[in-house]
Amino acid sequence: MMTKLKDVIPEESLTVRKIYEYHKRLGDSEEARGYLGASSIGMECERALWYQFRGCVKPEFDGRMYRLFETGDLAEHRFTKELKAIGCEVKEVDENGEQFEVKEFNGHFSGHTDGVALGIPEAPKTWHVLEYKTHNDKSFA
């Protein structure tokens, strides 16, 4: 009988665990936002939004999730490069060199885009807001 690889390899190696611990330390050290972000503004629970805005709760993520967030950040460069390669005009920052931002309610609500693009094949004469996400099927279910 043949030995199955999953039976001899630990679920999580020491190396992987240390990498996740590194990302946990890094992610937990980030300063909390002083505003409600666009990704949270659609929450149905107004109380949760109030607590979040007042800094009563900080989202808790493990090292694996922080690493996945970084994977999304790293993919942004690739997506922009690909759009430019097919002939799109892509702007990642505004005329002041800052990330495009939407801000309302005296800065209490804010959101940032990954850029804007012109020349998207489906509508080449229209500027499009770019918001890149990396997901798997499970995250959409």
Every domain of the chain and the residues it spans: 13-140
Give me the chain's average pLDDT, please: 90
Q: Would the pLDDT of 58 be above 90? A: no
Sheet holding 36-37, edge to edge: 36-37, 109-112, 101-104
The pLDDT, as a whole number, for residue 65 is 94
pLDDT for the residue numbered 32: 82
